[in-house]
Amino acid sequence: MVAKFSIRHLTFRYSDGVALRDVTLEIPANEITVVFGPSHAGKSTLLRSLNRLNDLIENEATEMSGLVLLDGKDIYRPGVDVTELRRRVGMVFALPIPLPLTIRENVVYGLRMRGERRQARLNELVERSLRQAALWDEVEDRLDEPAMRLSGGQQQRLCLARTLALEPDVILLDNPTSGLDPLSTAKVEASLQELKADYTIVLVPHSVQQAARVADLAAFLLGGDLVEVGPSEQIFTRPQEPRTEDYITGRFG
């Protein structure tokens, strides 16, 4: 197993309490790692610490300690190019948030901001990323319409395509199917299974069922503590910790 991310003793504190407490976790390359648990477990905070999106919190004092290594290098060391980090570690959010631009402009946004001007390259990436996100067939003849006209499920796949167009190493997905119907959810899950050949995927799932469906490696968070981590088939059939078992069998959460 090659660790893409090594999280070591990560503690993250908001002004009103601890969100992550001494979390140590290895995230393997080319697998789907699922971080699951009840609300306020620290799942989103963990995800956002992987591409330093927590840096954008402005109205509140936050405090972080511990290490996050990407390919063995500390992403919080001084002199790290954060925009380049965010390109390598792309993020898809819980709610689809298209930028108020056209479908095509949404997909190429990150590339254009990096200075890519070659039209042929942009067009190629538009098609490839939309295909990877299983959206191409539905939008190929209306790429210049506003992205807001797409349905919720289509918007979420557009957001996935937009992240894929950055050609990242890692894709973070924070509850990407929360607003989607079962059919769209199935489409997104299917594309994830195909994508893991080329990408490392970290997903906060919508439900325990989704966690069990898509995970290769599963990590259970509870109140900021990493309770248990292991291969999917072990966590969801023979959990070692009683708290994990209680949660996945629906006794709380």
Partner 1 sequence: MSRQASEKIAFAILTILAVVVVVPIVLVVVYIVVQGIGAVNWEFLTAFPRNGMKEGGILPAIIGTVVLTFGTAIVSIPIAVGAAIYLAEYARDTWLTRSIRLAIINLAGIPSVVYGLFGLGLFVLFMGLGTSIVAGSLTLGLMTLPVVISTAEEALLAVPQRIRVVSRSLGATRWQTVRQVVLPNALPGILTGVILGLERAAGETAPILFTVAAFYLPQLPRSPLDQTMALPYHLYVISTQVPGMPLEVQYGTALVLLVMVLSMNLVATIIRSRFRRRRQW
Question: Rounded CA gap, 208 and 226, in Å?
Answer: 16
Near partner 1 by CB under 8 A: residue from 44, 49, 156, 163: 163
Q: Is residue 220 a contact point for partner 1 (CB under 8 A)?
A: no
Q: What is the rounded (10 degree) CA torsion for 195, 196, 198, 200? A: 120
Which residues face 69 on adjacent strands? 6, 74
> How many Å separate Cα 33 from the centre of its chain?
10
How far apart, in Å, are the Cα atoms of 25 and each of 69, 135, 165? 11, 33, 28
CB 174 within 8 A of CB 93: yes
Q: Is residue 146 a contact point for partner 1 (CB under 8 A)?
A: yes
Q: How many CB atoms lie within 10 A of CB 15?
A: 10
Piece in contact with partner 1 (CB under 8 A), picked from 161-169, 182-190, 193-201, 212-220: 161-169
Q: Is residue 236 a contact point for partner 1 (CB under 8 A)?
A: no
Tokens of 17: 């309490």
Judged by CB, which is closer to partner 1: 18, or 148?
148
Piece in contact with partner 1 (CB under 8 A), picked from 32-40, 82-90, 202-210, 234-242: 82-90
Judged by CB, which is closer to partner 1: 163, or 200?
163
Which residues face 26 on adjacent strands? 6
Ordered alpha helix ranges (H), 135-218: 136-139, 152-164, 182-195, 208-214
Near partner 1 by CB under 8 A: residue from 18, 101, 122, 186: 101
Judged by CB, which is closer to partner 1: 26, or 55?
55
Piece in contact with partner 1 (CB under 8 A), picked from 37-45, 129-137, 156-164, 205-213: 156-164
Q: Can you give the binding site for partner 1, defined by CB under 8 A?
A: 51, 53, 56, 58, 83-84, 86-87, 90-91, 93, 95, 97, 99-101, 109-110, 113-114, 146, 148, 159, 162-163, 166
